Structure 1
Amino acid sequence: MRHISMTPFGRQPVTAGLLATRALAEAPAPAATADKWALLRDLTQARKAIGVSDRDLAVLSALLSFHPGKDLADDDGLIVFPSNRSLSDRAHGMPESTLRRHIAALCRAGLILRRDSPNGKRYATRDCSGALDRAYGFDLRPLLVRSAEISDAARQARQDALRRHRLREMTVIRLRDAAKLLVWASENDLGDCADGLEAIAGMQKQLRRKLDLDSLQRLADCAARLLARIHDHLPRKTEDMSGNDSQNERHHQNSNTEPLESESCKEQNDSDLPGSDETPPMPLEIVLKATPDIRDYTSGDIRSWRDLVRVAAFVSPMLGITPDAWRQACQEMGAAAAATTLACILQRSGSIARPGGYLRHLTDKAANKAFSPGPMVMALLRADNRLAA
C-alpha cells in the first residue's frame, strides 16, 4: 500500500500549521489543470495578500521550471526533486542558505509542500518498466488546489491598484487646482493663502510616499474638502482680468476708509478664517474683554473675527509695525491669532518699547510652534481682575 509521508525529516517538529497545509494539499482541486506560469503571474500581483515576497516567488519560479510542461495536472507528477545546486543555478546563483529561507516561506504560505524521503534527500525511484514510481521533494499540488483563490486575490489586487491609481490622479489634479486658485486669489488680494499653500505642500509630500488604499482615500477626501473651501471663498462673479499691462492697476471702489496695506489677512467669511483649517485661538468675547482698547479704533462694533482682523490691520501701522511684519505674522500665526496678538500688544503699548520688533519676535516663535496668544490674553484678564479687586 502506497504511503506519502506527512512529517518533516530531521529535527523539524510537526505543527498545527503543517497539518493544515497537508490537509489543504489533499483537498480536491477545483480544476483538473492550471497554467503554472499564469498562476505565478497571479501570485506576483497578489503576493501581499498571500503573504510572500518577490524573492520567495523567484524561488518558486525556479521550482516550477523543474516541472515538465506548461500545466499543473492533478496527478502524481506534481513533485519536483531538484538538488540544491540545480535549484541555485536556476535561481541565478542564490546561496543555499537563502534558498532554504525562501523555501520555508513558501511552505508557511501554503504554496508548496515538502515530501521528505527516509533520509531527507530529494530523488525519484523507477519501477521495473523504467517509469517514475516515487518522488521525494517539493509538492506543487497546493498551487493547483488554491488556483481559484490565487486568481481571485490577483483580480482584487488589480482592482485595488487601479483604484489607487485613480485616487492618486484625482488627488494630484485637486491639489493642482487648489494651489493655482490660491495663487490667483493672493495675486488679486482675495485673502491670505499661505496656510492653504502650506497644507497643499504637506499633502503633495504625502503623495510621494507609497500609501495604502485607505490612506490614499483619506488624502483624496482631504484634498476635496480643501478645494471645496477654496471654491466657497472665491467670488461668485469675477471681473475681467485679461487686460493689457496698462490695465493692471485696477480701480477699487470701497466705502471703507481704512488702509488696505494688510488686506492679505482679511477673512472671506465670518466663520471661516483665511488659511486651510484655521481655528480661532479662543472665543472672540474673551479676547475683546481682555483688550478693550482695540474697540477705540473702529466706528462700529467688532462682531466677528473678520472685524477684528480688519481693525488690527488698520492699527498695525500706528504701532510702528510694517506691512511686511504684519503679513508675516498672519502667515505664521494665522489671521485670527495675529489679530489677537496685536490687540494684546496695543493693550500693553505703554510697556512695550518697540511693538514692531516684539511682533517679529513672537512671529519667529510661532514659526517654531512655540507661541500662542492665549497666555497673553489670560494675563491681561488676570491683571484686569486684580485691578477691579
Structure 2
Amino acid sequence: MKMRHISMTPFGRQPVTAGLLATQALAEAPAPDHAPDKWAVLRDLTTARAAYGISDRDLAVLAALLSFHPGKELADDDKLIVFPSNASLSDRAHGMAESTLRRHLAALVRAGLLLRRDSPNGKRYATRDLSGSLDRVFGFDLRPLLTRSAEIASAAQEARHVEFTKRRLRESAVIRLRDAGKLIQWGREQIAANWDALSDGCALLQRALRRKLDTGKLRELAERAQQLLDQVKAVIAPETEEMSGSDSETERHHQSSDKEIHESEPCEEKQDRQSDHLAKDPPIPLGVLLKAAPDILDYAPDGIRTWRDLVGVSNFVYPMLGISPDAWRQAQDNMGHEIAAMTLACMLQRADTIMRPGGYLRSLTAKAVTSGFSPGPMVMALLRAENRQAL
C-alpha cells in the first residue's frame, strides 16, 4: 500500500489547500469491506453529480480515467493509481483538448473524487524495480472513489428520491390544471361567471410548469393548481346541484309514471326489453377497455378496479365533454350504465377528433334503441391505433 504515499503535494506552483488535505484524508481512510463496481460508482455519481458540483463533461473525463484502471472492481491496491498521458487520455475522452482536460481534471480533484500523485517533474509514469515489478506510480489516485462509494450511493438514492417527488408533484399539477381547464371550458357554456380571470390563472400556472422547477416551487405550484381547481368547482357547484335536483325530480317522475304504467299494464314489451338490455354483461373485459382508453384513468385518483368505479368516474367526466345531463341519462337508460361508461371512455380517448360529443352520443343511443349497439368495435379500433403507434 505504500504506492499511495508517494506524494501528497501538487507539482509546480499549485498550493496545498484545505480541500486537498481533506481529499488526502479521505483517500487514506479505511476501504469498505467489499470492492465496488467502478462503473456502478460512476452511474451513481452521474445521478448525484449536482451534490458534488460536477458537470457531465467532468464525468466524461472521469469515465476515460476509469477505462485505464484494469478490472471491473475498485480493489484496494496500487492499481488504483492510473497514469495515462494527456494524449492517451484525450483519445479516450473523444479527442478533448488538453487544456479542457486539465480544467475538468481540476474540477474532479476539487470535488474530492480524485487525488493527484505528482512525480518530481509533474509527469505521469510508473517505474519498476530490479525484479521488473512496479515500484512507483505517479498519476491520478482513484482511491477516493473507493472510500466514498457508500456515500456516493447514498447521495444517488437521495437524488432519485428528489426526482421521483418532483415528477409526482408535476403530474399532480398537470392533472389538476387539466381538470380546471376542462371545467372552465364547460362552465363558459353553462354558467355566467368571471371565467376569463379563472382561465388566465390557469394559463399562468401552465406556463410556469414549462420551466425547470425545484421541489419547493413544484409543491407550491401544485398547491396553487388545487386552489384554482377548488375555485372552479365552487363556481359550478350550484349549477351541478341544480342539475342533480332536476335529475332527481325527473327520476321520481319516471318512477311514478312507471308505477302507473305497471298498474295499467301497457308497454310491458318495452319494459322487458329495457330490463334485458340493462342486465347484459359488458362485452369486453375491463382491463382491455382501460388499455384501449387509458385517459379515463386520469380522472380516477384511486384507480378503476370495477365496473362500478368506471360508472362513477364517467358520471364525473361526461360534462367535461360537453354532454348534457339529458343526453347522458338517455344513454344510460338505453345502453345500460356499464355500456354507456365504456362508450364515454372511448369518446374521451378520441376527444380531439369528435366535433360534437353530445350529438355523437345521442346517435349511438338511438342506434342502441333501434338496431342495437356495442362499444366493442370502438375499443378494438383504439387498440389497433395503439399497436400502430407502438410499432
TM-score norm. by structure 1 comes to 0.61
Contact 1:179 1:200 in 2 (8 A): yes
Superposition deviation, residue 172 in structure 1: 0.5
In terms of Rg, which structure is larger? 1
Separation of aligned partners in 2, 1:166 and 1:64: 35
Question: Residue 192 of structure 1 is aligned with which of 191, 194, 200?
Answer: 194
Q: Whole-Å Cα distance in 2 between the matches of residues 185 and 49 of structure 1?
A: 47
Name the aligned partner's letter for residue 68 of structure 2.
Answer: F
Q: Which residue of 2 aligns with 1:215?
A: 217
1:30 Cα offset (Å): 2.5
Which of the numbers 101, 104, 108 marks the counterpart of 2:103?
Answer: 101
Given residue 198 of structure 2, which amino acid in structure 1 is its aligned partner? G
2:291 equivalent in structure 1: none
Q: Distance in 1 between matches of 2:108 and 2:242?
A: 64
Instruction: Give structure 1 regions of 4+ aligned residues with deviation exceeding 4 angstroms.
Output: none
Residue type at the aligned position of 1:22? Q
Equivalent residue runs for 1:57-136 within 5 Å: 57-136=59-138
Match of 2:177 among 175, 185, 208: 175
Letter in 2 for 1:209: R
Structure with greater helix percent: 2
Q: Give the alignment partner of residue 165 of structure 1, picking from 153, 164, 167.
A: 167
CA distance in 2: counterparts of 1:198 and 1:233, whole angstroms: 16
Q: Alignment partner of 2:173: what SS?
A: helix
Q: For residues 267-319 of structure 1, give each alpha carbon's deviation from its aligned partner in whole angstroms, at most 9, with x where no partner exists.
A: xxxxxxxxxxxxxxxxxxxxxxxxxxxxxxxxxxxxxxxxxxxxxxxxxxxxx
User: Which SS does the other structure have where 1:135 is aligned?
Assistant: strand
Amino acid at match of 1:149: E
Match of 1:234 among 225, 233, 236: 236
Q: Find the counterpart in structure 2 of residue 21 from structure 1.
A: 23
Counterpart of 2:150? 148
- Structure 1 contact 182–196 (Cα < 8 Å) conserved: yes
In structure 2, what is the Cα distance between the partners aligned to 1:76 and 1:217? 48
Report what 2:253 is aligned to. none
In structure 2, what is the Cα distance between the partners aligned to 1:81 and 1:52? Answer: 22
In 2, Cα distance between equivalents of 1:81 and 1:238:
80
In the alignment, is the contact (CA less than 8 A) between 1:31 and 1:144 conserved in 2? Answer: no
Alignment of 1:266-281 (within 5 A): none
Find the aligned partners of 1:238 and 1:45 in 2 and give their Cα distance.
54
Q: Distance in 1 between matches of 2:196 and 2:131?
A: 85
Post-superposition CA distance 1:15-68 (Å, at most 9, x none): 111111111111112334110000000011000011110000000000000000
Residue of structure 1 equivalent to 2:341 = none
Amino acid of the structure 2 residue aligned with 1:167: L
RMSD: 1.5
Equivalent residues of 1:125, 1:132 under 8 A apart: yes
Aligned mates of 2:21, 2:237 — CA distance in 1: 69
State the distance in 2 between where 1:117 and 1:217 align.
52
Deviations 1:181-223, CA, capped at 9 Å, x for gaps: 1121121124111111111111111111111111111111110
1:131 positional shift:
1.7
Deviations 1:99-142 (A, max 9, x none): 00000000000000000001100000112222212110000000
Q: Is the 8 A contact 1:125 1:134 kept in 2?
A: yes
Matched, 1:46 2:48: yes
2:228 partner SS: helix
Deviation of the 1:242 alpha carbon: 4.0
Tell me, which stretches of 5 or more residues in structure 2 are unaligned? 248-323, 328-391
Secondary structure in 1 aligned to 2:135?
strand
- The 8 Å contact of residues 6 and 136 in structure 2, kept in 1 or not, is answered as no
Q: Distance in 2 between matches of 1:156 and 1:13?
A: 34
Moved more, 67-76 or 222-231: 222-231
* More off after superposition, 39-48 vs 126-135: 126-135
Q: Distance in 2 between matches of 1:10 and 1:113?
A: 16
How many residues get paired?
244
Q: 1:132 to 1:238 in 2, by over 3 A?
A: farther
- Kept in 2, the 8 Å contact 1:43–1:154? The answer is yes
**TM-score computed with the length of structure 2 as normaliser:** 0.60
For residue 12 of structure 2, what is the amino acid of its counterpart? G
Supply the distance in 2 between the matched residues of 1:85 and 1:15 (Cα, whole angstroms). Answer: 28
Secondary structure of 2:74's partner? strand
SS at match of 2:36: strand
**Is the Cα contact below 8 Å between 1:186 and 1:192 reproduced in 2?**
no
